[in-house]
Amino acid sequence: MRRTITLLALLAAPILTAGQVFAADPPKPAVAAAAAASTAPAVPGLWLLTDYPSQTVRPGEATTIRFKLQNSGIAPETLAVSVDGVPAGWKIELMGNGQPIAAAMAPTNDSVALQLRVDVPKDAKPGSQNIVVHAKGATQSIDLPMTLTIGKEVPAKLAIKTQLPSLIGTSKSSFDYTLSVTNDSGKEMTVALAAQSPGNFQTTFTEGYGTNEISSLPIEAGASKDIKVKVRPPQEIKAGDYPVLVKVSAEGATAEQKVTLQISGQGALSLTSKDGRLSGEAQVGKTADYMLVVGNDGTAPIENVEMSGSVPADWKVEFNPKTLPSVAPNEKKEVKVSVTPSEKAIAGDYVASFRAGGRGDSKSADYRITVTTSTLWGMVGIGIIAIALLVLLGAVARFGRR
């Protein structure tokens, strides 16, 4: 409330000055006054406005003070702008749109943004300096008095906080923490991001919803930004709580936030063959046995692992045992799979897919089965040749030796 009143008081000052300037033309100020009484922006006239008419500046630094030229309901006019009361050794420049300016013009019912660039010499003595910004046109002239106090540097200050400091997941999950970093100091700072985590953890920072990895980000004075920390624990890590300390630092200011990964155990099935080869042979119509090994590379036991397989049409596949009640971590269990190619199968390579599925994880493996045909027909062929030879021998016996 108090702030509002101050603002009004500040606003009142130019109005008064304007009133004095326009004394020769009584009806207009009257209208303006009437309008100002009802709604502030509706007050006709020209104004120079700034948020903070009294500011702190630091020796040896440049401070930019934003203000604007506001035109309410009067015809636009070129106003020459200047600054009075610049202390000796100081350098104050009027800027508009980043460039030094000497005049400004505000359209009706609009404003022009202007800046004061104040270079305070290093050796400036503490105390307050009053300066006045003048805007002077053909018909009007307005002032904006300001007070610049040379003050001690405000120490940089950062704050970091998160709403969800503890996440639960498995060793395969990635843990995403959203943290809000606030720059509580008087100026923009580039904040370096770091995380202290147990060995082999991977941490990456991204900005808000962005995808680019960052290691630092600039934050304007008083503003706060969201960053995201993604933590990937190593796969083989045991279940437990793992703290990660997220640290932000800039210009000597630091802030940290501890987040916690609550890693729960998880089973990870593996499915290979006993000798590691995922291929085998089978004869047409004959059952071939292969030894599969179901293992658990995870950190928690897997219950009720059921074996299944998909084979070409008319083939048969059986597992022994069909189900494994439980596979503990680092345990390996053998499963015999019996594949019977169809009687009509043609020699060549086929793919059979075996699958081990349990609660929590499943794994399938493609097995390349080379189907061979029986040598029976080869024997028959030799038999046919033998018969042909017998015919020949019979002919020799009957008609031979002449």
Partner 1 sequence: MQREGSPFTGLGPVFIKELSDHLTSVRMMVLTLFVIVFGAFPVASSLQTLRTVVGADAYLYLRIFTIEPEQVPISFITALNFIIPLMAIGLGFDSVNSEFNRRTLSRVLSQPIYRDALLLGKFLGGLMTLAVGLLALWLIVFGAGLLLLGIPPRGVEVARAFGFLLVAIAYGGVWLSVSMLFSVVFRSTATSALCALGMWLFFFILWPMIANALVLGFAPREITTVDQYVGIQQLAIALQRLSPGTLFSEALLGLLNPETRTLGFMLPQQMRGAIPNAPLPLDQSLLLIWPQVTGLIAGMIVVFAAAYVVFQREEVRA
Q: Which residues bind partner 1 (CB under 8 A)?
A: 311-315, 342, 344-352, 368, 370, 372-373, 375, 377-378, 381-382, 384-385, 387-389, 391-392, 395-396, 398-402
65 or 317, CB closer to partner 1?
A: 317
Report, in Å, the least distance between residue 193 CB and partner 1: 49
Report, in Å, the least distance between residue 179 CB and partner 1: 52
86 or 278, CB closer to partner 1?
A: 278
108 or 310, CB closer to partner 1?
A: 310
Report, in Å, the least distance between residue 373 CB and partner 1: 5
Q: Which amino acid is at 270?
A: S
72 or 283, CB closer to partner 1?
A: 283
Report, in Å, the least distance between residue 319 CB and partner 1: 18
Cis-peptide, bond into residue 321, ω within 30° of zero: yes
CA-to-CA distance for 386 and 98, rounded, in angstroms? 106
Q: What are phi and psi of 322, to 5 degrees?
A: -75, -35
Report, in Å, the least distance between residue 269 CB and partner 1: 24
78 or 279, CB closer to partner 1?
A: 279
Lookup result for tokens 């040598």? 375
Q: How far is CA 198 from CA 171, 206, 257, in A?
A: 14, 20, 15
223 or 395, CB closer to partner 1?
A: 395
Name the burial class of residue 98, with classes exposed (0-12), middle (13-18) and buried (19+) by CB atoms within 10 angstroms of its CB.
exposed
CA-to-CA distance for 66 and 70, rounded, in angstroms? 13
The secondary structure element, H or E, covering residue 80 is strand 78-84
Report, in Å, the least distance between residue 257 CB and partner 1: 55
E strands present in 253-388: 253-264, 269-273, 279-283, 288-296, 302-310, 316-320, 323-327, 332-340, 348-357, 362-372
